[in-house]
Amino acid sequence: MDEPLNLVLFSGTDDRLQAAAVLTAGAAALGKPVNVFLQYWALHAFTRAAIGDDHGLAPEAGSAGRAAVTALANAGQATWAETLRQAKDLGSVDIQACSLSMDLLRLEPEDLDPLVDGVEGVTAFYLSAGEGQVVFI
């Protein structure tokens, strides 16, 4: 359990981000360090300007899926951002923005939500990952 879990977040829809947050929180609860690397549309979702928005769901969710997600949110389910904040309190969770995606979206570090710990390139991501599992979401 010493090797970290390494999540590459690419997708920025609320359902995939929630799945990623649950995987992060579960690993943190087990004492496993988690590295999160934000690319493309996931990075956009972690900006100060966008983190509180509705980021939509995968197209396959359909109207029934939409209704289920909304009902659970109305019943008080934590958002993915709240779940990640809790996971950071619970364990070792490091969230880094991909420098190439920062350029793509023309973002500066001050544009990012405080959940994000820094900006790094893919080489630094691999060096942190070590021999731990890499999961692309």
Q: 98 vs 116, which CB is nearer to a second copy?
A: 98
Q: How far apart are the first and last CA of the chain?
A: 21
Nearer to a second copy, 45 or 95 (CB): 45
Give CA–CA dist 87/51, Å, rounded: 17
CB of 116 to a second copy, least distance (A): 18
Residue closer to a second copy by CB (options 78, 115) is 78
Closest contact distance (angstroms) between CB of 99 and a second copy is 10
Which amino acid is it at 88?
Answer: K
- Interface residue with a second copy, options 52, 53, 54, 56 (CB under 8 A): 56
x-or-dash pattern for a second copy, window 73-92, by CB under 8 A? --------------------
According to CB under 8 A, which one of 4, 36, 38, 55 is a site residue for a second copy? Answer: 55
104 binds a second copy (CB under 8 A): yes
Residues 137, 18: contact at Cβ < 8 Å?
Answer: no
CB within 8 Å of 10: residues ≥ 6 apart: 39, 40, 41, 42, 136, 137
> What is the C-alpha separation between 73 and 137, in angstroms, rounded?
22
